[in-house]
Structure 1
Amino acid sequence: MKSDLSATEEIEMKLLTEAIFRKYHHDFRGYSEASLKRRMMKAKEHFACASLSELQHRILHEPDVISKLLPFLTVQVSDMFRDPSYFRALRERVIPHLKTYPSLKVWIAGCSAGEELHSFAILFREEGLEERTMFYATDINEAAMRKAEEGVYEMDRVAQFTENHRLSGGKTSLSDYYSTGYGRAKFDRSLRERTVFANHSLVSDAVFAETHLISCRNVMIYFNRDLQNRAVGLFKDSLVRRGFLGLGSRETLRFNDHVAEFSEFEAKERIYQKGTE
């Protein structure tokens, strides 16, 4: 699809992403052009910059700007138990397989502010797997990960969290897991006691653990084909034989270079199982 950026803006965009990579080692050079353009233009307006070149200047010379820019470039919006049918499929079809392992490692890639992490912690507690599971929650946005570590969300979001949990087959009341005050819900620290939070980029970093389940949803839609191949390659190398990979509803392995390494375990919910060959 032809870009609607001007020729000058296309040059500025390439220089800007290169500057971010060289200065801060965050690599957005292979992100989807349309998505990156939209996000950069919003950032340019937010920082009151006349051009992308001015935004680049500020990023290079004002160290605090990069941390404020990252929320524009990374996925921030989620819900607990988002797409409840995905979590129901995990509960009913994947969990029985995971129960056969004496210990488990689960990687939440692109954890953002922690909604998905808390969903998994609650799911695994309800299914009796929490005490034998270690969770790895990773993201490139350190500000978002700090929110995940705090486990605090606005109270007006909790009604949706609660309904999603119910539809996912929840066996308890979501209110068992949080306390309220000052218009916010704080989820129990115990839900995060078995979690390692780490800055990790699917674009540039390597595999760091052998895992049994990886959930990476609505992240790769922002990657171009090469980065999607790289990310799935990392997941393949991280997963044990017969390990599981969960993707977002708009993501698929169908055209990925590593598709032959996986089988469709729950096709509708985009849950794949690493092959046994």
Structure 2
Amino acid sequence: MDEQAVEDIEIHLLLEALHRRYHYDFRNYAQASVKRRLRQARELMGLETFSAMQDRVLHDPAMVPRLLAFLTVQVSELFRDPGYFRALREKVVPHLRTYPSLKVWVAGCSTGEELRSLAILFREEGLEERTQFYATDINPDALAAAARGVYPLDRMAAFAENHRLSGAAAPLTDYYTQGRDGAAFDPALRERVVFHDHSLVTDAVFSEMHLVSCRNVMIYFDRALQDRAVGLFRDSLIRKGFLGLGAKESLRFSAHAEAFRDFAREERIYQRQ
């Protein structure tokens, strides 16, 4: 048996151990991406083999957050892909205004950039006070960072330009203050947010959602897991609710595609049939 085959067995057993011991399930994530991230983790942790990593994970719970930091994607921007947020502002918000109260689920919220973008957009469009946001992720450290809402000052110029291109009338500086630790966003933006540990692999739905935004998460799933996630979103949304995906994601080959219609095709926004 060659070295690559042995490594594949080790990775399979490591992912199985992570699932059975801690209930984090990466077994159906896109394997090329998982392998690349695990190799980075092994190198930076100074471990010779994935079997050694498995031993550490099984017997040292403190290893788990470190490993999750490699396996979950935590790079985002405020108003990333501004056209998506402009489409929400111009095309989706008029529909949302017809409801007396709203629920929005940001699935895979990472460190909170997308959540905060939506909270700012909903404030600007007069919907903040009637909206309950649900922000979920499998990484507890990422959820804690999302709740804090403090970002490096050197990212603010790019964030501000994205915000402007999303159709905002006011400057982004209206929403944060500069401090020693970075740009701290208005704490009121999280007053209507519930942060919750949730896995698209194993957990159930959030119900009666008007908008589900899950961007640049499913590209790391295999086809079966993508279908499971879309099924969750379908069951979570009210009739005529909206689903937003990332620029490289689509429902075209999903088993649940017939449950949705294209609403803003270029921006990957769909409406529940």
TM-score bucket (shorter structure):
over 0.9
Deviations 1:113-137 (A, max 9, x none): 0000110000000000000000000
Which residue does the alignment assign to 1:9? 7
Is the Cα contact below 8 Å between 2:212 and 2:242 reproduced in 1? yes
Is the Cα contact below 8 Å between 2:207 and 2:235 reproduced in 1? no
Which residue does the alignment assign to 2:170? 172
The SS at the match of 1:6 is helix
State how 1:252-271 maps to structure 2 within 5 Å: 252-271=250-269
**For the residues of structure 1 that align with 2:15 and 2:67, how far apart are their CA atoms?**
12
**For the residues of structure 2 that align with 1:57 and 1:208, how far apart are their CA atoms?**
35
State how 1:1-277 maps to structure 2 within 5 Å: 6-182=4-180, 184-275=182-273
| TM-score for both structures, normalised by structure 2 | 0.98
Unaligned runs of 5+ in 2: none
- Cα offset, 1:5, TM superposition: 7.4
The SS at the match of 2:106 is strand
**For the residues of structure 2 that align with 1:267 and 1:208, how far apart are their CA atoms?**
25
Deviations 1:1-39 (A, max 9, x none): xxx970000100110000000000000000001111101
**For the residues of structure 2 that align with 1:5 and 1:274, how far apart are their CA atoms?**
47
Is the Cα contact below 8 Å between 2:205 and 2:235 reproduced in 1? yes
**For the residues of structure 2 that align with 1:209 and 1:161, how far apart are their CA atoms?**
31
Is the Cα contact below 8 Å between 2:227 and 2:255 reproduced in 1? yes
**For the residues of structure 2 that align with 1:48 and 1:209, how far apart are their CA atoms?**
44
**For the residues of structure 2 that align with 1:272 and 1:182, how far apart are their CA atoms?**
41
Aligned length: 272
**For the residues of structure 2 that align with 1:125 and 1:131, how far apart are their CA atoms?**
8
**For the residues of structure 2 that align with 1:75 and 1:259, how far apart are their CA atoms?**
26
Letter in 2 for 1:192: R
Deviations 1:221-269 (A, max 9, x none): 0000000000000000000000000000000000000000000001101
Letter in 2 for 1:10: D
**For the residues of structure 1 that align with 2:184 and 2:113, how far apart are their CA atoms?**
12
Stretches (4+) displaced over 4 A = none
**For the residues of structure 2 that align with 1:202 and 1:183, how far apart are their CA atoms?**
32
* C-alpha RMSD over aligned residues: 1.0
- Cα offset, 1:208, TM superposition: 2.7
Letter in 2 for 1:126: E
Quote the sequence identity (%): 63
- Cα offset, 1:63, TM superposition: 1.0
The SS at the match of 1:204 is coil
- Cα offset, 1:47, TM superposition: 0.9
**For the residues of structure 2 that align with 1:63 and 1:108, how far apart are their CA atoms?**
28
- Cα offset, 1:75, TM superposition: 1.2
Is the Cα contact below 8 Å between 2:150 and 2:181 reproduced in 1? no
Unaligned runs of 5+ in 1: none
**For the residues of structure 2 that align with 1:149 and 1:171, how far apart are their CA atoms?**
26
**For the residues of structure 2 that align with 1:161 and 1:172, how far apart are their CA atoms?**
13
Letter in 2 for 1:70: L
- Cα offset, 1:172, TM superposition: 1.1
**For the residues of structure 2 that align with 1:214 and 1:62, how far apart are their CA atoms?**
36
